[in-house]
Amino acid sequence: MEILVCVKRVPDAAENEISVGAEGADIRRDDLVYSVNEWDNYAVEEAVQIVEREGGNVTIVSMGDGDAEEVVRREMAMGATQGLLLTDAAFDGSDGLGIATILAAAARKRQYDLILTGALADDGAGQVGGMLAALLDWPYASVVNKIETKDGKSLRIGREIEGGTQEISDIETPCVLSIQTGINEPRYVGIRGIRKVASIEIPVLDAGALGIDAATVGATAANVRRIDYFVPQLGASAEMIEGSTEEVAGKLVDLLKAKGGIR
């Protein structure tokens, strides 16, 4: 099976305090630790496991510059044979549809049986996979937490819906699936793994190479534009308890007793 996995380089929101920079134009990015979007890492692992089972190839694609290449290479080290980098100044400021348009152009360059994305990324929109499927006119499923290959023409998949219930469906290939965390246990990538893929050339494609009309992507084409970031003013927020560890612990014991938390 030929599988394309779309990945994004993002600030690690679990490891960083995200704060807003001057006048809200952007978040403060100086001290942020970047990594691959967590959901995408599960998508890559799933693709690699399918290919290990059934044969085929995994290609990692990302939109971005040299920093994104680092992420593509790290993900390739999990077991992908090819990488693709989509880079053009005309792509800057793309909204979800712009990004899906660029990825769709890359997907049309080769014949893939399956495209995986992460279910969500740092902006929480969860939109690119579904748009990509619609642009390619392929079937789609979101928040996928199980993939079983069936007969070469379809897959049996599980979606994680509310309450931890799993919705089982059959979906025809080629299709686009967005992957939920927890579907597998992504393998550890060491220095040696990254060294193994260090010599693989990662083609860089721009709008021209992808056959994209630059007017259909980027900031000018975007119907959805972020104006600024801000930290919401909160009405009621927590009463904060401060002091030494001893003092804080003492106050918490009193509070928990009063509220029935110690039984």
Partner 1 sequence: MDARVFVYVAHEDGKADDSALELVTAARSMFPGSSPVALVAGSGIDAVCQETAASYGEVWKFDQAALAYPNAELLRPLLVKVLPTGAMLLLPHNTFGLDLGPGLSVKRGVTYVPDVVGVDGLEGTTLKIVRQEFAGQVSAHVHCAVAKGAVITVRSGAFRPAEGGPAAGQIVDRSADATGLSARRTFVELIQAEAGDIDITREDVLVSVGRGIGEKENIALVEDLAEAMGATVSCSRPIVDAKWLDRPRQVGTSGKTVKPKVYLALGISGSFQHLGGIKGNPFLLAINKNPKAPIFQAATVGVVADLMELLPVLTEKIRKSR
Sign of CA dihedral 136, 139, 140, 146: negative
* Minimum separation from the CB atom of position 18 to partner 1 (A): 4
Nearer of residues 85 and 189 to partner 1, judged by Cβ: 189
* Minimum separation from the CB atom of position 40 to partner 1 (A): 14
The CB density around residue 60, as the number of other CB atoms within 10 Å, is 30
> 187: buried, middle or exposed (CB in 10 Å: 19+, 13-18, 0-12)?
middle
Distance (Å, whole) CA 145 – CA 157: 8
Residue 179, SS3?
Answer: strand
DSSP category for residue 169: E
Nearer of residues 65 and 229 to partner 1, judged by Cβ: 229
Nearer of residues 192 and 263 to partner 1, judged by Cβ: 263
Nearer of residues 89 and 252 to partner 1, judged by Cβ: 252
* Minimum separation from the CB atom of position 47 to partner 1 (A): 18
Residue 140, SS3?
Answer: strand
* Minimum separation from the CB atom of position 3 to partner 1 (A): 18
Question: Do β-strands 166-172 and 57-63 pair in parallel, antiparallel, or remain unpaired?
Answer: unpaired
* Minimum separation from the CB atom of position 201 to partner 1 (A): 33
Residue 117, SS3?
Answer: strand
Nearer of residues 147 and 197 to partner 1, judged by Cβ: 147
* Minimum separation from the CB atom of position 139 to partner 1 (A): 4
Nearer of residues 82 and 178 to partner 1, judged by Cβ: 178
DSSP category for residue 27: B
Q: Which residues contact 124 (CB under 8 A, 6 or more apart)?
A: none
